[in-house]
Structure formats: structure tokens, C-alpha cells
Structure 1
Amino acid sequence: MGEAARVYGPPVLAWVALIGRLVINRGRNAVEARSNRLVLTYLGALAISFTLQAPGTYEAAGDLLGIPNVAKPLSHWTVLIAAWAARNLLLWMREGGEPVRLSWRLRLLVAGSMVGTGVLFALAETPKNDVKFNIFYGHVPLVLEYWLVYLVGLMPALVELARLSWLNLCDAERPAVRLRLWMSTIGVVAITVYHVHKGLFFTAKRFGLPYSDAFSAVMDKYLTLVAFVLVLLSASLPRLRVSGDGAVAGWVHRFVTYQRLTPLWLALYRANPQIALSPPRSPLLDRLDPRDLDLRLYRRVVEIRDGRLALQAYLDPDAVARLREEAVREGKTGHQLDAAVEAAILKAGLRARSAGESPPNGPSHAAIHGGRDLDSDTAFLVEVADAFTATRPVRPWSRSRGGTSTTSG
């Protein structure tokens, strides 16, 4: 099972990333459409390369075309295409403007590498059609030369990829962008190390030099797996420019925000179901549903505010002042103070409503804290919701004591 995952995992992941990109992330203008084509070229070439390297496909390609091991150069040519497409994409991310294209000099370099590897492959004596090509033919004349000509076309792209990934990483500030660029940088460095290792392996086999078979096996099995999985994960995320978040990062942020608001909303809804525009499904399905997050998050914020207004008649002004004093004594300030007080007020108001007790001194008309727009108000309510789930239970207002009391849960 583990070996099958290692061999077939990368091609499956590559095709999933490619199909996902085709389905959910089309460019909205000419520039985005062109940059999206770079990503599709990159992912498509990697998907084809990984598929050709899988044992069954590798042997089937040789049998179908009548050329033993033809999957080897085909796979390497698609890697060349993927590497240079990725380089152009990172360069565009770095410089902005129109997506860049290869210069004629670089096009000739890539074309020369493809033609050279094709000629050397045709001349090399490799009659057995087997995915273990490197083991069987590492010592054969022209195989080392084949690899060196391949590296002539590939290494400049890998060096540029590593450089651009690192430069973009140094400039990036947002966590989502930095995560993607870390994956890209580490993956590209690992791919570069692997190709250098294979060059040393073929050199050792050709000239009878010592080279650890155990070390080579580990590098072949695991370094390529880690490298390409990291590169694929970074590439499968929609475009994340250094200057801002992308579609996936925004969706993840909205999804997490929705989850964090749910406990507070659910408590208010149970106290007053009328705040909901439509009856909710089961809490689990509601939490897991990834659709229409923009609209659902907006409704969640509005419904929490409606639930807060519905509790106004149960809020004791003296208790509100006392709760604020307690929060100040605990060292809270600014938005943290306002959020902690708001959470404690809501919890006490919900318990008072449940117990059917009105505040002894009349309802509170204190100002309701929040943001100035939807985004800032959502951020504030997230703080309130976090504090709501973390605060100690608050008893309803006591008529005999004219205040509030708290008890540990």
C-alpha cells in the first residue's frame, strides 16, 4: 500500500490539481487568463510526466509505440516544459504586468536539450522496456551524456525557480503566501538536489566509481516524492500574489471565521429562533457545508446582531458596569476588553432570559460595541465568540442581590 501510494500518488495528485484548476479558477481578464494558462501548462506537463513514470504506463507506452523506454524522454521533455512554465509564472508574480514568455535564446536552449536527448536516447543501447531503466542502463554509453544534455535545459530553470521563490518569500508578509512559497522553495531545492544526485549516479556507474546503492535508493524513493508533492501542493493553490491573499486563502479565512462564530450564533438562535432567516440544518452539516460562504457569513453576522438586540431587555446596567470592572481587573484593554465584556453580557443575558428574570433596575441602554463596517464588525464578533466559549458561566441577574455573580463551571 505504501509503495503504491509513493508510485501512483504524485500522478493522481497532479491530475486532481489540474482538473481542479480547470474547474474553479478561470481568469477574469486577459492578463489573468494568460497567467492561468501558465499554471495549466505547468500542472498538465507534470501530470503527464508523473503518469509516464508510473510502472504500468511506462511499459505500455513502450509497447504501444514499439520503442523500448520511450516514456523516459517523453517524461523528461514534459518536465522541461513544466519547469520553464513555472519559472515564467514566478517571474510574473515577482514583476507583475503581462505574463512573461521565454526569450528566443531560452527557447533554443530548451529545444536543443529536447533534440539532444532524443538523439542520444535513439543511439543508446537500451532494448529492455522496463521502468527500472536507471538500474539496468546506468552504465551504458550515452546514458550519462543523455542526462547531462537534459540538465543543460533543466538546471537554468531550476536555479531561477529557487531564486525567485526565495526572493518572493523574503518579500511576502501574509501567512498564506509565505506557506505556498516555502513549499515551492523547498520543493524546487529538493528537485535540484535529486537531479544532481542522478548525474553523480550515472557518472559513477559509467566509470566504475563507488556510489552507495542504499543512499541512491533512498534519494530515488523519497526525495522525489517529497519534492514533487510540495511543488504540486504549492501549484494547486490558486494564484497568490506576494501583495495579497488569493481565492483559496480567502475561502479558508471565511470558513474558519464561520466556524468560530457558530457557537455564539447557536446560543442566540436557541434562545430566539426568530433571528434566523431560515431554519438551520443539523449543526454538523451546517459547519461542513463549503458553499455560499460569503452570503452565509454575512447572514451569520446580521443574525448575531439581531440576537444581541433581542437580549437588550434582559441586560442589567449595574451588572454591565460590574462585568467591565472585572475585565479591567483581569488586565484586558482595547478590543479585547470590549469583546470580553460583550461575551460576558451575552452569556448572562441568555441565562436571565432562560430563567425568565428581568433586570431589577430596568434594561441597560449601554452602547453596543463593534466595527465600523462588515469586515471590522465580523472581526470583532469573532473575538466575542472566542471569549463567549472561553468565559465562565454567568448566573442570571439576582433580584435579592441586585447584581451578578459568577461561578466556575
Structure 2
Amino acid sequence: MTDHLTRLLGGDDLAWLVERARHRLEHGRPLTGTVSLTAATTGQRRALETLLGRRAGTGRSLTVSLDEVDRVVRASGACAGLADAVVRLRGPVRDLPALAAERDDAWRSAFAALDAHVAGRPELSGWRAWLDASGLVRRLAPEAAEAGPLLERLTAVLSRVPSAGVPIGRLAAEACGDAHALDDGRPLGTLALSAARALCGLPYAAEGGADGRRAAWGAAGVYLDELSSLVLSLGLPGDPVPGEPHVRTLRQLRRSGPIAAGMVRVCENPVVVAAAADELGAACPPLVCVNGRPSLAVWRLLDLLAAGGARFAYHGDFDWGGVAIAAAVHDRMGFTPWRYDASSYEKVTCDAPLGGRPAPTPWDPALSAAMRARAVRVEEELVLADLLGDLRTG
């Protein structure tokens, strides 16, 4: 019977027909209706005509009824029908829908711990959707069995950030049992860095090399080392050279106690500190620069100043990135706006277009509304003379 079936359907010229039938069976479709073959060879046409016992039409293409083939196979006595013939000639048929469902279940299980964690942290919901859209996890761990443990470790890391300040090796050791698990280039390090960027409002995909990685982790309260996290200031008690800008490392600040400084002005850009040093020197009142997204050193210094009884006045760029930085400082430290309100914004003449996503300004809700309406960007350099005047008068 097997030889009979091989002679009937097993030749190379009918292989296309058997494969079309197998494809249908694998996808759970019945062997009914027709299948076609374009640009059929003479051998393929003759083989089909021999199978059916009739002419197979004219032209380059072939169209055949699967119902008719099934009847021919049954009538031949070679097997129980076309579906049986496919199995005998090609082996067991896979149930592709069932396999796909199993894979989907496996991937849902792999993401289960992470999804449960993200459900309680709306600030990570956009990042979680990005993981699916970008396919990052499946590139790093192609199989669900491999991805599951990876995502469980990622969840353990996320449960510990943002942090009040922890070295990345310690975070990795405590969360994963491997001090190098979050190293640059490791799968977990790549995923966790994207989450850290999400937590501080940055694009999820990594950019900026080592400096960008350091800044993203720093904004999440994790430092790569104590010496690369810096903060720039002027006029603080204990500065080694009065009137000159001073850079403190996180290492120095972690060993410092509260700093009593009264009112402390906080700016976003180093140009303000440099100009204040040039024009005011030792007469400049306490001034701290966050220099973009605050590093751990910045947060540590602000915390020490707050512990010493300091009050803060803040100024930054009038753009949505500057607003996000100011909001982070306001949420953690609180401040009085230093020419950083709607009235001050409206007074500046500028036509630089404002891009980005609008954000609230809780220290002055009218500022966000004014920026959306006016849609121009004002950098600190444009109001530098006013800021220096404030510093000059204390």
C-alpha cells in the first residue's frame, strides 16, 4: 500500500500538491476547495493528469480540487484519503495554532511577574508597551524559557528603584545575586537601563554612551561610581576658594554632614555659575547648578543643605525638558520660583519654537498654560543679566 501511495502522490512533480495540503492541515483548515500552482512545468501538468485521469486544463497555471484528489486517493485503496496520505508521505502534521497558543501562554507566563509589578506603577506603563513594540526582550532572550528568569530578575531590580543612593554593583548583587548582572552590554543591564530612563522621563532606548548611562541610572538613585557623579556650586560654606566655582563628588558628599546656608539659589545651567563667579566672585550668595537632570551628587548636596535648614529658589530653561527637571526638584525639595513663573516667561522676548510634550508646573500652574499658549522656548542665557542682578542684591 505504501508503494502504491508513493507512485500515486509521492513523486517530485506532485510535491507541491502534498505540501499545500499539509500547510492547510497544519493551520487547522479542511482539505476542501481548490489549490493552484502558477508557472507549472510540463512534468507537473502530466503528473496531475495521471493522478486525476483527465486533462488538467490549459495555460501555465494548474488548479485542482482537493475534494477530487481526496476521492481519487480513497478510490485507489492506497490509504484512507488525502489527509492520511499527507501523514504517510510527510510524517505527523503539526498543530500550528495549538503550538502558537502554547508559545503565547509561555510568553505571558514569562512576563507575569513584571506585568504584576508594572500594574502598580503607572509611570512604567509606557515603557512596558514599548518592550512589546520594540521586541527588545525577544531579541535578548528569543525563547520564553530563557526570558522568564531574565524578567524575574528585572522585576527584582525595579522593586528597588528609584533608590536613595545605591552603587549599581550592590543593587545587582542584592536583586540578582550577581554583582555584574547590570553591567553594560548584559541583557539585564540593557533592560534595566531602559526602565531607569523611563523612570526619569527619558526616551527608553539608550543613547549618549557612558555619560547617558550614568545620568539615567543616577536619576534613578543608582550610581556607577562615587567619583563620576558631580555637582557644581558657588558661594557655599566650606568652599576651598571663595568666589570660585567648586565641584564636589558624590564620594565627598556621602562623607559630609548638613550644610547651613540659608537661602540657596538653584539654576539649571553651568553658564549661570560661571557668569556669577566672573561678576560677583566671593560676593555671590549660595548657588547650586543641577546641570540638566540632577545627578546623585546634586541630590545629595540639596539634601545636606535642606538638613541644614536651607530654603531654595529655582530657575531653569523655559522648555518642557527644563520643566521636567524643575518638577523633579520641586517634588523632592520644594522651592520658590526664581523668575521661573508665568509672569517672568511672558516678559522675555524670544521666537525660538517650543517642542516636546507639555507638563504641569505645580509651583505655578499658570506657567504651563502660558508655555502651551505661547509655544516659545526661553533658555537661561537669555535672562542671565536678570539672574545676576538678583544674585548681586542677594
The TM-score, its normalising length taken from structure 1, stands at: 0.25
Q: Name the structure with the higher helix share.
A: 1
Q: Which has the higher contact order (CA 8 A, sep 6+)?
A: 1
The TM-score, its normalising length taken from structure 2, stands at: 0.25
Q: Name the structure with the higher strand share.
A: 2
Name the larger-Rg structure.
2
